[in-house]
């Protein structure tokens, strides 16, 4: 009778706490007889970091602390809290320790009973999946703990002190605009045509375009302003704004919100106050170089910059933006030097980046992926000018440490150096009559971003593609099958699949099997919903908003992508420190147990998402 009363008390206790409160009454009634009760004294470590665990502990009374690999307190549990689910779902050994901080009573659920509950009751599995996701986010934060210095790349433009926006209507006179600037004490203001940003007027414009030119101050401000100015998102990183301003030789940059509405102006002075040791100075030095050798000499500092950023509190996403922005600066300077030698371009053109740099996700050890979009007015005789331009820039990039693309996806290839209409025809062919080979070779061109020249050519091509992709179901299915085929390097028993031969034997290709898995998943979903986003995290958010993936999967993919990217950057940083050339091949022996554990978890997330992708786009029926 006493035993029945005790089992009844345990049942009632479990019924008050998640996830057991969601179980059917008959299942909950049988559960107490399948567990044991364990008493532990204060100070007892009942889950040890680095040791295997095969039980779920539910705290019936008392309290316990969870510490991570750095011995940082990450959680304090009281009655009803569960411990041990991550080792039961993700494998051993444990990366956390759990210690009773009071005399405590534990309900101990065996591993087989735990798995039986998860299989039979999705709500139980979902509860512990959320606990796992929370720990993955903690893993990313822990891996990024700074080892020296302070953050220098965390500042976003919306975090800068900003005064109220100063504007004048396009109908205002130059005198009225100058009076407004003097009265507000600003060096620039925005000129508005209703709600649309029409232009920007700076104090330099007043000196050079009005006073020096003898313009009547009663003339409309629209005659002396810079029309349709370059803008940047208020959510952009400060260093991205600085690089944009340096490349374009401007000192004021309008800020816009997500809807494209102007919300302020940032100046070079604002940015210089943030951090004088920022990588923006690397890009600034690149822009000043008089020749290719000078560009190569300065850009050779990039690996050391990445090493410093890894040792500080910069995320993989932020570091990817830095590496990308420096690559952009190199390319723009090489293009400017080539144009100075070759003379003016015969027709407008747009030099575009492809692949990881188009996505703002470039790491070290990247090769070239470029193309040229030419204005349709180009004549056959003028094509030679662009061939010479492409060859000069490509050779310059090799000198600066960016090897030629092994697949010949470069502007030096005439097939990827063509007029806009031909590009539109090429994309139309890919989207309407896809073949496996065409899809394999075309996927990189759906990650495209303008770097230099007339961006309107890229915009017109992008708009053409976006009009067609939502209806291109066969192409999307082929693309999904290709993404599904690139499985993460995780074996059947959760062991890593390593390279079997060559110079990288017994190492893990973290880019091909893991990082690109998320890139390809995000690309497929984004194209299917007609999103113009190219950055992988932006694509994930666009797909979440469109309902293509769940909130849970979006969070998982975002965190897994960040974690894998950061492990790669730490690996490359160590190679730079040791004087070796950086690559994407990580030796498992160089990884901590913490990193191995969470890489397995990240690869599992990718594999699950690939399986969901196949079901959504019916890849089983794609030839």
Residues 319 and 458 in one domain: yes
User: For the residues 82-97, what does the mean pLDDT come to?
Assistant: 84
Output the CA angle 517-507-608, nearest 5 degrees.
Answer: 25
HSE-CB of 339 using CA atoms within 13 angstroms? 15
Residues 435 and 573 in one domain: no
Residues 449 and 504 in one domain: no
Output the CA angle 68-71-74, nearest 5 degrees.
Answer: 50
Residues 64 and 97 in one domain: yes
Determine contact, residues 404/398, Cβ cutoff 8 Å: yes
Number of structural domains the chain divides into:
4
What the block records as the tokens of 480 is 């999904």
Report which of 538, 524, 518, 514 is spatially closest to residue 598, judged by C-alpha positions: 514
Q: Is residue 154 part of a domain?
A: no
Lowest mean pLDDT among 36-40, 377-381, 451-455, 502-506: 502-506
Highest mean pLDDT (candidates 143-157, 338-352, 440-454, 607-621): 338-352
User: For the residues 446-457, what does the mean pLDDT come to?
Assistant: 93
Q: What is the per-residue pLDDT for 501?
A: 79
Determine contact, residues 562/315, Cβ cutoff 8 Å: yes
Q: Is 2 or 98 the better-scoring residue by pLDDT?
A: 98
The CA distance from 488 to 557, in Å, is 13
Residues 382 and 341 in one domain: yes
3-class DSSP state of 337 = helix
Give helix 316-342 / helix 302-310 axis angle, nearest 10°. 170
pLDDT at 482 over 90: no
Q: What is the per-residue pLDDT for 184?
A: 87
Q: Is 67 or 183 the better-scoring residue by pLDDT?
A: 183
Determine contact, residues 195/165, Cβ cutoff 8 Å: no
Lowest mean pLDDT among 72-76, 167-171, 515-519: 72-76
444, 468, 492 - which closes a domain: 468
The CA distance from 591 to 597, in Å, is 10
Q: What is the per-residue pLDDT for 277?
A: 42
Residues 420 and 481 in one domain: no
Q: Is residue 153 part of a domain?
A: no
What the block records as the tokens of 67 is 């510490």
Look up tokens 């690109």; give the residue: 516
Q: What is the per-residue pLDDT for 2?
A: 41
The CA distance from 28 to 503, in Å, is 56
Q: What is the per-residue pLDDT for 1?
A: 36
Residues 422 and 508 in one domain: no
Q: What is the per-residue pLDDT for 5?
A: 55
Residues 210 and 138 in one domain: no
Show contacts of 111-114: CB within 8 Å, 24+ apart. 111/54, 111/55, 111/56, 113/31, 113/34, 113/35, 114/55, 114/56, 114/85, 114/88
Residues in the chain: 623
The CA distance from 39 to 147, in Å, is 40
Distances (CA, A) of 439 to 78, 433, 447: 54, 10, 13
The CA distance from 548 to 566, in Å, is 26
Q: What is the per-residue pLDDT for 141?
A: 52
What the block records as the tokens of 163 is 């005064």
User: For the residues 62-89, what does the mean pLDDT come to?
Assistant: 81
What percent of the chain is modeled with pLDDT above 70? Answer: 90
What CATH number is given to the structural domain containing 193? 3.10.580.10
Average pLDDT, the chain: 86
Dmax over CA atoms of the chain, in Å, equals 105
Q: Helix-strand-coil percent breakdown of the chain, rounded to 5?
A: 50, 15, 30
The CA distance from 236 to 540, in Å, is 18
Residues 170 and 119 in one domain: no
The CA distance from 612 to 600, in Å, is 18
Q: Give the single-character DSSP code of 230.
A: -
User: What would the pLDDT profile of 547-570 be if each residue is shown by its tens digit?
Assistant: 999 988 998 899 999 999 989 988
Q: What is the per-residue pLDDT for 280?
A: 63
Q: Is residue 439 part of a domain?
A: yes
Burial class (CB in 10 A: 0-12, 13-18, 19+), 412: buried
3-class DSSP state of 278 = coil
Determine contact, residues 246/283, Cβ cutoff 8 Å: yes
Report which of 255, 94, 259, 35 is spatially closest to residue 598, judged by C-alpha positions: 94
3-class DSSP state of 8 = helix
Q: Is residue 150 part of a domain?
A: no
Q: Is residue 149 part of a domain?
A: no
Q: What is the per-residue pLDDT for 436?
A: 78
Element (H, E) at 416: none
Q: Is residue 157 part of a domain?
A: no
Task: Locate all alpha helices (DSSP H) within 356-415, ordered by sequence.
Answer: 383-399
User: What would the pLDDT profile of 126-167 be if each residue is shown by its tens digit?
Assistant: 888 766 665 555 555 555 544 443 333 557 788 776 778 899
242, 275, 308 - which closes a domain: 275
Q: Band of the pLDDT at 63, cuts 50, 70, 90?
A: confident
User: What would the pLDDT profile of 333-357 be if each residue is shown by its tens digit?
Assistant: 999 999 999 999 999 999 999 999 9
What CATH number is given to the structural domain containing 134? 2.60.120.10
Q: What is the per-residue pLDDT for 99?
A: 93
What CATH number is given to the structural domain containing 530? 1.20.120
Q: Is residue 152 part of a domain?
A: no
| SS3 annotation, 497-562 | CCCCCCCCCCCEEHHHHHHHHHHHHHHHHHHHCCCCCCCHHHHHHHHHHHCCCCHHHHHHHHHHHH
User: What would the pLDDT profile of 571-584 be if each residue is shown by its tens digit?
Assistant: 898 888 888 888 88
Domain range enclosing 223: 162-275
CA 485 to chain centre: 22
Q: Is 309 or 205 the better-scoring residue by pLDDT?
A: 205
User: For the residues 317-343, what does the mean pLDDT come to?
Assistant: 92
Burial class (CB in 10 A: 0-12, 13-18, 19+), 502: exposed
Residues 544 and 460 in one domain: no
Residues 98 and 181 in one domain: no
Residues 326 and 429 in one domain: yes
- For residues 502, 506, 512 and 514, what is the CA-based torsion angle, rounded to 10 degrees? 180
The CA distance from 167 to 181, in Å, is 9
CA 353 to chain centre: 16
Task: Locate all alpha helices (DSSP H) within 62-187, ordered by sequence.
Answer: 85-90, 111-120, 122-143, 174-184
pLDDT at 330 over 50: yes
Q: What is the per-residue pLDDT for 340?
A: 94
pLDDT at 368 over 70: yes
3-class DSSP state of 34 = helix
pLDDT at 29 over 50: yes
What percent of the chain is modeled with pLDDT above 90? Answer: 43
Compute and round to an integer the Cα radius of gyration of the chain: 29
247, 275, 303 - which closes a domain: 275
Question: Taking the model in full, what pTM does it have?
Answer: 0.61
Q: What is the per-residue pLDDT for 168?
A: 95
CA 453 to chain centre: 25
CA 271 to chain centre: 23
pLDDT at 123 over 50: yes
The CA distance from 494 to 511, in Å, is 18
The CA distance from 221 to 198, in Å, is 11
Report which of 315, 325, 156 is spatially closest to residue 235, judged by C-alpha positions: 156
Q: Band of the pLDDT at 599, cuts 50, 70, 90?
A: confident
* Beta pairing, strands 167-169 & 370-374: unpaired
Q: Is residue 127 part of a domain?
A: yes
């Amino acid at each position: 009778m006493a035993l029945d009363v005790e089992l009844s008390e345990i049942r009632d206790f479990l019924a008050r706490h998640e996830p057991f409160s969601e179980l059917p009454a008959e299942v909950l009634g049988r559960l107490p007889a399948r567990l044991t009760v364990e008493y532990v004294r204060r100070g007892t470590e009942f889950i040890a970091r680095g040791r295997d665990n095969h039980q779920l502990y539910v705290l019936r009374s008392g309290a316990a602390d969870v510490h991570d690999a750095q011995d940082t307190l990450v959680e304090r549990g009281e009655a009803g809290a569960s411990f041990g689910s991550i080792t039961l779902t993700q494998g051993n050994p444990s990366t956390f320790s759990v210690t009773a901080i009071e005399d405590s009573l534990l309900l101990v659920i065996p591993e087989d009973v735990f798995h039986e509950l998860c299989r039979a009751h999705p709500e139980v599995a979902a509860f512990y999946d959320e606990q796992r996701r929370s720990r993955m986010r903690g893993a990313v934060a822990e891996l990024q703990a700074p080892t020296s210095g302070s953050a220098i790349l965390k500042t976003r433009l919306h975090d800068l002190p900003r005064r109220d926006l100063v504007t004048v209507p396009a109908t205002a006179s130059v005198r009225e605009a100058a009076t407004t600037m003097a009265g507000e004490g600003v060096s620039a203001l925005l000129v508005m045509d209703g709600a649309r940003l029409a232009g920007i007027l700076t104090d330099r414009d007043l000196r050079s375009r009005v006073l020096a030119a003898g313009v009547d101050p009663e003339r409309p401000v629209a005659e002396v302003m810079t029309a349709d100015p370059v803008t940047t998102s208020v959510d952009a990183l400060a260093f991205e704004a600085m690089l944009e301003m340096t490349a374009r030789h401007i000192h004021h940059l309008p800020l816009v919100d997500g809807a494209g509405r102007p919300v302020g102006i940032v100046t070079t002075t604002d940015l210089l106050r943030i951090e004088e040791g920022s990588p923006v100075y690397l890009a600034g030095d690149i822009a000043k170089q008089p020749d290719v050798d000078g560009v190569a000499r300065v850009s050779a500092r990039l690996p050391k910059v990445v090493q410093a950023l890894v040792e500080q509190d910069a995320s993989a996403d932020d570091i990817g933006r830095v590496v990308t922005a420096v690559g952009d600066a190199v390319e723009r300077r090489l293009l400017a030097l080539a144009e100075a030698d070759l003379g003016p371009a015969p027709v407008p053109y747009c030099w575009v980046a492809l692949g990881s740099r188009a996505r703002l996700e470039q790491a070290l050890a990247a090769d070239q992926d470029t193309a040229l979009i030419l204005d349709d007015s180009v004549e056959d005789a003028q094509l030679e000018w662009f061939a010479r331009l492409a060859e000069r820039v490509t050779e310059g990039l090799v000198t600066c440490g960016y090897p030629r693309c092994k697949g010949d996806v470069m502007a030096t290839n005439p097939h990827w150096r063509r007029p806009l209409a031909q590009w539109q025809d090429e994309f139309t062919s890919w989207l309407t009559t896809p073949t496996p080979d065409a899809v394999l070779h075309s996927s990189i061109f759906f990650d495209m971003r303008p770097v230099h020249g007339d961006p309107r050519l890229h915009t017109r091509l992008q708009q053409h593609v976006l009009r067609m992709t939502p209806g291109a179901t066969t192409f999307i299915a082929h693309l999904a099958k290709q993404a599904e085929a690139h499985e993460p390097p995780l074996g059947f028993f959760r062991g890593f699949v390593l390279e079997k031969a060559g110079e990288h034997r017994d190492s893990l290709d973290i880019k091909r099997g893991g990082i690109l898995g998320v890139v390809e998943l995000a690309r497929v979903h984004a194209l299917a919903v007609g999103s113009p986003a190219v950055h992988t995290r932006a694509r994930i958010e666009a797909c979440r908003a469109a309902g293509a993936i769940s909130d849970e999967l979006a969070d998982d993919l975002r965190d897994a992508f960040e974690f894998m990217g950061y492990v790669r950057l730490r690996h490359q940083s160590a190679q730079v420190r040791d004087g070796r050339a950086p690559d994407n091949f990580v030796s498992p022996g160089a990884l901590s147990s913490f990193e191995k554990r969470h890489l397995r978890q990240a690869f599992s997330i990718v594999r699950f998402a690939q399986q969901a992708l196949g079901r959504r786009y019916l890849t089983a029926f794609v030839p």
